[in-house]
Structure 1
Amino acid sequence: MNYNETGGIMKKRANGPKIRVVLHILVWAILLALPLYSVKRLQFSSDFLLIYYSYTIINGLLFYANYLLLIPKLFFRKRRISYYLSALALIVCFYFVADISNNIVIGYLEKKNPEGLERRLPPPRGMRLRVPVAGPHVMGYVSSSLLIVFLSLGVKVLERQSRIEKMQEEMEKAKLNAELAFLKNQISPHFFFNTLNNIYSLIDINAEDSQKAVLKLSKLMRYLLYESEQGDTKLSYEIDFMKNYIDLMKLRMSEKVSLAVDFPEVNDDISIPPLLFIPFIENAFKHGITTRGRSFINIGLSSTSEVLIFKCSNSIAGKGPEDRQPGIGLENVKKRLALLFPGKHDLFIDKHDDEFRVLLNIKLS
């Protein structure tokens, strides 16, 4: 994973708590603003706001006492019995806090309005201005308090689950990037090893052609060192890379080898992971050329806005036992395809009699 990706993940983690704080503030702002509409719409006295806000503040304190203290310290640490007992004790404590607060508020309003608050401020249906210490209203308080406690529990659990899922996604992405980097780093040395072997064998045959081969190799190295390290690369760049590689291989081909290459003119809107097709081409030149008879290699690429199709076929030269092994290149490209295009690619490899065929379809959208 590169620095930018790491920084992006850290930034997302830092922004997560900020977003939650903003959402909490927004919800409470709506709850505090609702009675302002009700006072005008339903023609309640402005004194109703004081009572409403006192209840809302107490309920908010109950919500966050459970949300910030009991749930992280007890519930998430698997101390469930302690949590439920503490939540019950919290509800009882806040009942007395609510009763004291209610008496203070009502006492203040009665002093402000000596002729009688009940006549001046008729409470909404189901609400009493004073909270009795016993009776059906106690059950109403307990019910509403339980609702607040379980609401805060639900919010906290959902937030925690969301954080866990995001962390798992980030870890999977980091693991994927590490695996892709490992596979790509395996491909490059393998590619250079084969290419240098070809140039070495060419030196004894034709010194001038070997100089051309070194020049071609320098272009390939430039691509591998710079372009392929930028993440995805333009399809046109990848095609140029494959052409240079094929030109390098042609320097040591005899007239007995039939080579057909069909690369289309493509626009720069299509980007692909680098070095995606070169292992198949390497494999074709490694196993498809023989000095004992005629052989062939056919390479083709076509694309639309939705799919990319790569085809490669070659004769089987029938070399030594070590050349009949699939090799690290093909195994790596299979793993890369599985990681880069899960469910979006089809790879068909067929070895039949004296011919080896590869067909790769990649969905671009």
Structure 2
Amino acid sequence: MRIPWLKWILLGLVTVLFLFFPFLLNEFHKPSIVPGPHVPANFMPPPEHRIPYPWVNIYRPELQNLLLIIFFYLNYLWLIPKFLAKGDAKKYALACGLTVLLFVVLTWAMHNFLDHLNHMHAINLLRRFPGLFVSYFLVTGISIGLGLYEDWRKTQSERETLQKAALESELSFLKSQVSPHFLFNTLNNIYSLSVTKSEHAPDAVLKLSGLMRYMLYDASEKNVPVEKELQYLADYIELQKLRLTEKVKIAYEVKGQPGTSEISPLLLIPFVENAFKHGISYSGESTIHISISCSSSELSLHVLNPVAATAGDQKDKSSGVGLANVKKRLALLYPGKYKLDISNDGRHFSVALHLQLGKS
């Protein structure tokens, strides 16, 4: 059972104080025995008439405390991890009971030995047994309580480690879904440009290479600077513009300075991608509004696009992948630190995201 170094220090200090407290108490009070069968309680004889307190009785409590301390560590560091922590309560009860009995006998023998040195009559074991049993019973309870607490802390730590590993695995999976989803849509756009032999096709390929570089080298990080994410978003929008006709208007605006704040990569793109995929009408005019305001601690994203007449008839199973993905990522990465409102009145689809940012 591993204990943090700070707890070892605290246990050591408690051990030292517990062991030497009787000696310190004796030094402060300087007890003495006054001769005479009937001495008033408030009577204080002169120093020359006092008899020094026997040294044997000074060290008697310290030796008893030493045995209690040895029993505590034996139970805490060996018996509990070997039996009780493994769920074998019967073997632990037997081993602990025998150990308590052994230490009770040792303590009784120690007292008898000191009584002999002090020329006192030895006290029968049965007379000392209740008090000794209570002392060792209390030490047993304390060591069991501390041992079970440490075992619970260890279990909690292992559980948190497993949950963190599972969370990171799930986030990696969700992030890996973003890349193919975006890539398929962008390749379709470039394919459309190449079919029409558009002069913008080479520029589109160049921009796509920049986006892919970001996705390969930056998106694998836990967080990236907000400026990089916004630049990625701007390049994506420019890439989309290459395939759009004049009937489609894009209103893109960024306000504020993010400073050194960071954000999880590829977190904003699903909202913008959804607007381009479902907000463009090929039979009439349509406008997509994208507004971002940011500071060193917050970021707000607003996306408004019309619901195209053809969008409702589409049966593309991947249409909901992006939004479902980003909702789950927000819940995992920013619990209690974001607000997301998505509405669809049949004519317009709107997204409002407010996010608390971290700093590098």
After TM superposition, is the score higher than 0.5?
A: yes
Matched to 2:300, the amino acid is I
Do the aligned partners of residues 188 and 96 (structure 1) sit closer, same or farther apart at CA in structure 2, a change above 3 Å counting?
A: same
More helix by share: 1
- Counterpart in the other structure of 1:143: 134
8 A contact 2:256–2:295 mirrored in 1:
no
Q: Which stretch shows the higher mean deviation, 285-294 or 174-183?
A: 285-294
Relative to structure 1, the CA distance from residue 209 to residue 94 in structure 2 (aligned partners, 3 Å threshold; closer, same or farther) is: same
Match of 2:260 in 1: 269
Measured at CA, do residues 306 and 92 of structure 1 come closer, stay the same or move farther in structure 2, by a change above 3 Å?
Answer: same
Q: Which amino acid aligns with 2:288?
A: I
2:226 maps to what in 1?
235
The answer for the alignment partner of 1:24 in structure 2 is 11
User: Does 2:24 align with 1:37?
Assistant: yes
Select 1:222's aligned residue among 213, 227, 232. Answer: 213
After TM superposition, give the deviation of residue 48 of structure 1 in Å. Answer: 5.3
Residue pair 1:59, 1:145 contacting (<8 A) in 2 also: yes
What residue identity is the alignment partner of 1:333? V
User: Would the alpha carbon gap of residues 318 and 33 (structure 1) be closer, same or farther in structure 2, given more than 3 Å must change?
Assistant: farther
Match of 1:230, SS state, is coil
Q: Is the 8 A contact 2:83 2:91 kept in 1?
A: yes
- SS of aligned partner of 2:249: strand
- Residues 1-365 of structure 1 aligned to structure 2 (within 5 Å): 16=3, 18-35=5-22, 37-43=24-30, 50-107=59-116, 110=118, 132-135=124-127, 137-304=128-295, 307-319=298-310, 320-323=313-316, 326-364=319-357
Task: Quote how far apart the aligned CAs of 1:182 are.
Answer: 0.6
Distance 1:279 1:130 in 2: 86
How far apart are the structure 2 equivalents of 1:30 and 1:191? 67
Identity percentage of aligned residues: 36
Task: List runs of 5+ in structure 1 lacking aligned partners.
Answer: 1-12, 111-115, 119-128
Give the distance between the partners of 1:336 and 1:37, measured in 2 at CA: 61
**Which amino acid in the other structure matches residue 296 of structure 1?**
T
Aligned length: 334
CA distance in 2 between partners of 1:230 and 1:328 (Å): 22
Query: Hey, what does 1:5 align to over in structure 2?
Result: none
CA distance in 2, matches of 1:343, 1:269: 22
SS at match of 1:299: strand
Q: CA deviation at 1:343?
A: 2.7
1:315 CA displacement:
1.2
Paired amino acid for 1:74: F
Give the Cα–Cα distance (whole angstroms) in 2 for the partners of residues 191 and 325 of structure 1: 11
CA drift of 1:340 comes to: 0.9
Q: Indicate the RMSD between aligned Cα atoms, in angstroms.
A: 2.6
SS at match of 2:220: helix
Give 1:94 shift: 1.1
Q: What are the superposed Cα offsets for residues 312-361 of structure 1, whole Å, 9 maximum, x if unpaired?
A: 11112232422586431111111111111223322221111221111112
Contact 1:287 1:318 in 2 (8 A): no
Q: Give 1:131 shift.
A: 5.4
CA drift of 1:179 comes to 0.4
Aligned-partner residue type, residue 176 of structure 1: L
Answer yes or no: is the 8 Å Cα contact 2:112–2:122 preserved in 1. Answer: yes
Kindly indicate whether the alpha-carbon contact (under 8 Å) linking 1:50 and 1:105 is maintained by their aligned counterparts in 2.
no
* Cα deviation, residue 81, structure 1: 4.1
User: Displacement of 1:223 after TM fit?
Assistant: 1.2
Per mean C-alpha deviation after superposition, the further-off stretch among 229-238 and 276-285 is: 229-238
Give me the whole-angstrom Cα distance separating, in 2, the residues matched to 1:95 and 1:49: 20
Q: Rg larger in 1 or in 2? A: 2
Take 2:17 and 2:319, find their aligned partners in 1: how far apart are those partners? 65
Unmatched runs of 5 consecutive residues or more in structure 2 = 32-52
Distance in 2 (CA, whole Å) between partners of 1:93 and 1:62 is 10
Which stretches of structure 1, 4 residues or longer, exceed 4 Å deviation after superposition? 15-20, 44-49, 105-108
1:19-46 alpha-carbon deviations (Å, 9 max, x no partner): 5544433332332343453243223666
3-state DSSP class of the match of 2:125?
coil
Tell me: CA distance 1:326–1:194, structure 2 relative to 1, closer, same or farther (3 Å): closer
